[in-house]
Amino acid sequence: MSRLGRVRAETGAGWRAFIRRRTAVFFTFFFPVILIVIFGALVRTDPGGGGLFAEPPAYYVPGYLAVVVLFTPLSRLGSEVARHREGSRFEKLATTPQTRAEWLLAQTVVNAVIIGLASLLILALVVVLTGAEIAFSALLVPYILVGVVCFCGVGAMLGSYTDSQDGAVAASNAIGLPLLFLSETFISLEQLPGWFEPLVNLSPLTYFARGVRAATDPNAATAAVAGVDPALANLGILAVLAAVFFALGARSIPTTD
């Protein structure tokens, strides 16, 4: 079987495994919807009024998208790798021509499809429920795809180095929650202490949020990076980080356990 055939077969198996878990399907789409309803429709934003939601609704679009782009790969890949370790499935995988990178690529494709569908739902709800005025840029697609690749790599590392599925899920939440709120998604830099800015710049999600905001919010004040359009510059930085984390994630997957 060719490399493409092996990836295609594993992708099909991963997709069927996901849709059989109805609870996972439900919460993948339900959790971001709840956030939009609570923060976007009930709490609402108060531009110029101070506080947490002091920006126009379009400002928070990257944050809503980040919920699925960040949490779904971390929790799903982390628990998937941990489950394979507990069942000694990687030992069986080592006896086949399929490599760890091919296995991770197939899982990433499955996550990309899931998150792509969830992102469409999120964008529609944000426009309908919050009245956000956003531009539907073609750059949204590569941002979501590259973001998924990046955090699938991180999720693979979590599943490889934690001791159980529960540990992988706990680690994904411990890492994901701070990243979600401290990466220029729901909280702007102006609301954080000045000394914290260098830490914000260490988060891959920061470049996702900045780039998506530059691409979707026509009123966003985004500075060019080294003279390059911010939407393209942040995508380039995110792509480099995604390649690094994907390689580290594939390398961390055990051949035996």
Number of domains in the chain: 1
Per residue in 245-255, pLDDT tens?
999 999 998 87
Contact present, 235 and 211 (Cβ < 8 Å): yes
Per residue in 166-202, pLDDT tens?
888 899 989 998 998 889 888 888 888 888 888 999 9
How far is Cα 114 from Cα 180, in angstroms, rounded to an integer? 19
* Residues contacting residue 50 through CB under 8 Å, at least 6 positions apart: none
Residue 257 lies inside a defined structural domain of this protein: no
* Residues contacting residue 46 through CB under 8 Å, at least 6 positions apart: 53, 54
Per residue in 100-120, pLDDT tens?
899 999 999 999 999 999 999
Per residue in 74-89, pLDDT tens?
988 888 888 888 888 8
How far is Cα 6 from Cα 2, in angstroms, rounded to an integer? 6
Residue 38 lies inside a defined structural domain of this protein: yes
Q: What pTM was computed for the model?
A: 0.88
How far is Cα 233 from Cα 10, in angstroms, rounded to an integer? 33
Q: Which domain does 177 fall in, by range?
A: 3-252
Residue 212 lies inside a defined structural domain of this protein: yes
Contact present, 157 and 249 (Cβ < 8 Å): yes
Q: Positive or negative, the Cα torsion across 114, 77, 179, 181? A: positive
